[in-house]
Amino acid sequence: MKSIKFLTLVFGLLYLFYGLIELLAFFGIEIKTLIYPQRDIYVSFVLLVISSIYLAGLKNSILGKERKAISYLYVASLLSIAAGVLGLMVIGANALETYILKNEDFANWTLYQGLSSYFILGLISVIAFWKAKKIAASKKAYS
């Protein structure tokens, strides 16, 4: 149960933090982070929704609703991974525009600029997914 609380808290706060950074960047307020903000309101919305799902899992974990907490962790991590895959596809498309098609709009594009918060968080969320899957499998054995 402690690992569920820890994972939902950490990932919920990470997604909340980067969702707010993306929102502020959209409105022109720059905050220095390791990950380049995309300045996209939709990215901010997606990150904040995923954050709310993780934090709902934390709430259920605190209230002792273990099955619900695992479900929220599982769903949030799946959505996170899906967003990460989308981020990977965007990086691939931008790389094609830059290096294959030689598009002038992408002349100064670098891979570092393509590393979005939702791509990095999606990669890290694989940890939460496997942990949720492991916890759910162990709970099934006790049911």
pLDDT of residue 28: 93
pLDDT of residue 108: 83
CB 58 within 8 A of CB 40: no
> Whole-angstrom Cα distance, residue 116 to residue 126?
16
pLDDT of residue 97: 86
The DSSP symbol for 109 reads: -
> Whole-angstrom Cα distance, residue 57 to residue 16?
14
Quick check: pTM over 0.85? Answer: yes
pLDDT of residue 141: 44
CB 95 within 8 A of CB 35: no
CB 69 within 8 A of CB 57: yes
pLDDT averaged over 10-residue windows placed end to end, the chain, 143 residues: 88 96 93 85 96 96 91 95 96 88 81 88 93 82 47
In what helix (H) or strand (E) does residue 47 lie, and over which residues does it extend?
helix 41-62
pLDDT of residue 140: 66
pLDDT of residue 109: 82
